[in-house]
Structure 1
Amino acid sequence: MASSIEAARAKVAEQVKVDLLAETQDLDNEKAAAEIARSFISDTITAPTKEMYVYAVRASLGDDVYHEPCTKALEAHMAKLTGKEAAMFVPSGTMSNQLALRTHLKQPPYAVLCDHRAHINRYEAGGTAFHSGAHLNCVIPANGHHLTVDDVRENVVLGSDIHSAPTEVIALENTLNGTIIPQEDVVAISKFAHQNGIKTHLDGARIWHVAAETGTSLQELLEPFDSVSMCFSKGLGAPIGSCLVGTKEFIVRARWLRKLFGGGMRQTGFMAASAAYALTHHFPLLPAVHQLTRKLEDGLKEIGCDITSGAETCMVFYDPSPVGVTYAEIAERASKLPVPLKVGGSRLVVHIQTSPTAIEDFLAIVRELAEQKRQAGFVAPERKVSANGNIPKDIYVRSGVDARA
């Protein structure tokens, strides 16, 4: 009998076994790293470095629902860094944003005012409506760049008119599509909000870029906000994770809601350690990223492309139609290089693992296609340039595939 049970157990164990690693895994990883260096799709594609892994595997082994030392240390650092009372580590920026809104929003009816291009509006699967039952009041900035206090005054819902959902939260995003909101406008919006009993939240997924570009401390940048979501897996290149910061009372409730959302995690030490490594070693790389992005923009301008949103940090949006070229033609030519480039539509994202050679190769493709069109008789149409030097177009009307995260 015992032998038959052991045999059955051995059979089940054999069925359970799985090996995910390919025989060529090390070579595959090297190939993937090379592909990442030549992709302009997003900064989410960055891969953990060997040095980051070495640091991460030494992390503590606690359970974060109970007590995880490295994660608690990261949260304490983030609170101190941002000048907030408390912080909470979460799996993703989307969860961090949605937890913040759900924590702020207590009793409907209520609304959240945001830029029409905001991540919480376009790229979080309707989470604000689903999780919080909140209306999103999406505003188009009058200046075409960022929301100002005048935009907010024009669109905020105050008072007791029963026909409208009152504004309970104003949510900003910095950077938004790689652009920086001037701090004076942030302060003005926050002052207006708090004078009217409205909470302020920042989707600061890429706030690191603002700090790196302007030399402004995180504490100063985030002081106007009641809560902030900050991502480790975009510009900083960690494999996973975001942090939500706010008051102690706010984070206590948000932690409860994190459990409700299914976001309570267990051995998160290696994740926290990866984030810590990224903060220490990758944040200083961001100014070079911005320099490469500006080089990309300058090259596109020199060729004759329109810039629809300039390279303030790590992104540039462009339109090649003035030189007779389409996004599809660029993508096809890029895919056929001896060492291919990966591009989508009008958005180009530069990250800490982008190769400078990739910039040169991309510009060479656009330049070559533009010259071929010119030789075939294409004549560029007259262009209208806005006061800020960019072309006044809706950068969300695109050809090709753009990753928005």
Structure 2
Amino acid sequence: MSTPTRIDLRSDTVTTPTPHMRAAMAEALVGDDVYGEDPTVNELQQETAALLGFEAGLFMPSGTMTNQVAIAVHTQRGQEVICAEGSHIYEWELGMMATFSGVVPRFVPAPVGVPDPAQVRRAVRHSIHQSPTGLIALENTHNKAGGTVLPHEVIVGIREVADAEGLPLHLDGARLMNAAAAQNVPARQIARYFDSVSLCLSKGLGAPVGSVLVGSKRFIASAHRYRKMMGGGMRQAGTLAAAGLIALREGPANLPGDHRRARELAETLVQAGYDVDLSTVQTNIVYATIQDAQAKVEGWAAQGLLASALDIDRVRFVLHYQIDDAMLQRAKEIVAGM
């Protein structure tokens, strides 16, 4: 008997390199990237920066590192970082902003992942009696809210707050390309309002490893030092950057299909009696409220469907390019109990 195909919806980080990526990795020109001499890394950095409308980029192993390096460059110890409730930089980056940069978060309400610019303005602190604000950080798409997209007018409004208050604005754009696909706009049209942007290559775009931080030349020059401090000097990293280039060039075309499949799965979950806020299913992520989530996830896993129980009653499904329509159909049958 053949082994059933495993349908892995735990994250869009579970994908494996495409044949094109593997070939590019095998043939990549390499050098010592700590000295700035890896030609493939340099190409990836330049291409990502140009794509998003910035002067320079810096390749790193993870989105956590790119975000935390950005925080370190933008802030001074003892300051606060304004961020939306549920932001990845706080929830899943292990307190690094406090540990490494000596700064703390100040949260603003963010219904479905979207903060109100007026609330952001109220959160700004300049008093000598309080920790001063050093940075505003946004996340697009917002993972914990369900992969929701920041509306253009909200980004513009928060940019106006940052300008008025003399503050830098950073974007955790791990899934920025998903946001661009959902709004049918070029990614640089979103990125243009930020002083720095972190773009993950190993999520929806499908690369095995890596994120790129982009900003001004001066900003990236400072980021180099912090990357080295965090252990992010990867030497002959061109083999990884080669896969990143393929992801950057070919991955965005797959995202609309991921979004469609996520919507279909979400509607099936609702039909099966599970609680899903369909208004939040805007990209490739689906959250469902399911009692005794861990037991349910274990039962589905026995049938070949993997999902993530992120709380006692919350399950996350993430669609990606290695889930085709046949696999989606089987996933829908499993969650529907067919």
Q: Would you say the 8 A contact 2:141–2:176 is kept in 1?
A: yes
Partner of 1:161: 128
Q: Do residues 334 (structure 1) and 300 (structure 2) align?
A: yes
Give the alignment of 1:285-364 within 5 angstroms. 285-308=254-277, 310-320=280-290, 326-337=292-303, 340-345=304-309, 346-364=315-333
Partner of residue 78 from structure 1, selected from 48, 55, 68: 48
Letter in 1 for 2:317: L
Partner of residue 173 from structure 1, selected from 114, 135, 139: 139
Letter in 1 for 2:308: G
What is the DSSP-based 3-state SS (H/G/I as helix, E as strand, rest coil) of the residue aligned with 2:83?
strand
Shift of 1:358: 3.2
Q: Would you say the 8 A contact 1:334–1:362 is kept in 2?
A: no
Give the alignment of 1:45-84 within 5 angstroms. 45-66=14-35, 67-84=37-54
Shift of 1:368: 2.7
Q: Would you say the 8 A contact 2:112–2:148 is kept in 1?
A: no
Query: In structure 2, what is the Cα distance between the partners aligned to 1:256 and 1:187?
Result: 31
Shift of 1:115: 1.1
Greater share of strand: 2
Instruction: Extract unaligned runs of 5+ from structure 1.
Output: 1-30, 370-405
Give the alignment of 1:34-183 within 5 angstroms. 34-35=5-6, 38-66=7-35, 67-105=37-75, 107-141=76-110, 143-157=111-125, 159-162=126-129, 164-177=130-143, 178-183=147-152
Cα–Cα, structure 1 residues 246 and 181, in superposed 2: closer, same or farther, change >3 Å? same
Give the alignment of 1:185-204 within 5 angstroms. 185-204=154-173
What is the DSSP-based 3-state SS (H/G/I as helix, E as strand, rest coil) of the residue aligned with 1:181?
coil
Query: In structure 2, what is the Cα distance between the partners aligned to 1:236 and 1:249?
Result: 28
Q: Would you say the 8 A contact 1:209–1:286 is kept in 2?
A: yes
Letter in 1 for 2:127: S
Partner of 1:382: none
Give the alignment of 1:359-374 within 5 angstroms. 359-368=328-337
Aligned-residue identity in percent: 38
Cα–Cα, structure 1 residues 161 and 280, in superposed 2: closer, same or farther, change >3 Å? same
Larger RCO (alpha carbons 8 Å, 6+ apart): 2
Letter in 2 for 1:341: L
TM-score, reference length from structure 2: 0.92
Query: In structure 2, what is the Cα distance between the partners aligned to 1:223 and 1:283?
Result: 19
TM-score, reference length from structure 1: 0.77
Query: In structure 2, what is the Cα distance between the partners aligned to 1:199 and 1:303?
Result: 45
Shift of 1:144: 4.2
Query: In structure 1, what is the Cα distance between the partners aligned to 2:222 and 2:213?
Result: 12
Partner of 2:312: none
Residues 361-396 of structure 1 deviation map (CA, whole Å, 9 limit, x = unaligned): 333233238xxxxxxxxxxxxxxxxxxxxxxxxxxx
